Amino acid sequence: MAYSFHFLDDIALADLAFEAEGDSVEELFRAATQALLETLADPATVAATWERRVTNVEGNPADLLFEWLSNIVYWKDAAGVVFHDAELSVRQEGSSWNLAAVLRGASVDQTVQTLRSDVKGITKHLYDVRQEGTRWCARVVVDV
């Protein structure tokens, strides 16, 4: 596993923030995805009884990551689920960046799941995606 993330305590007072990084754009997406899933609930306590395929195309990795994370929040609300895991691939094709993913989870059930924060959305506040040498890094603030 060539990615990592950590939560930031002193970035936004009413929100939650994390930084994620990876050896590639795809690994960055995995790190940011895991951080968001763990913000919502402990994935180890969530079954994988619900599944949704998600595809998206954007002109750059920053916009693609923002839309992907926003999609996770959308499905949390629209389907009333939290997530066990997400399989994803990110590829550059010409001038476009493509995401293909499968979200897995289960309906919210506080009797068996360790629920954490009810994320309302991904914000553009302090949002940043950049390449530093060979590593890709992102800072994400979520509205809770």
Q: Quick one: DSSP state of residue 44?
A: G
Q: What CATH number should be reported for the domain holding residue 87? A: 3.55.10.10
pLDDT in tens, the chain (144 residues): 577 777 767 665 558 999 999 999 999 999 999 999 999 999 999 999 999 999 999 999 999 999 999 999 999 999 999 999 999 999 999 999 999 999 999 999 999 999 999 999 999 989 999 999 999 999 999 998
What is the number of domains present in the chain? 1
The structure's pTM equals 0.91
For position 5, what pLDDT does the model report? 78
Show the domain range for 94. 3-143
Tokens of 124: 């553009």
Instruction: Using DSSP bridges, classify how beta strands 135-143 and 3-8 pair: parallel, antiparallel or unpaired.
Output: unpaired
- Give the span between the Cα atoms of 34 and 50, in whole angstroms: 17
- Give the span between the Cα atoms of 128 and 136, in whole angstroms: 11
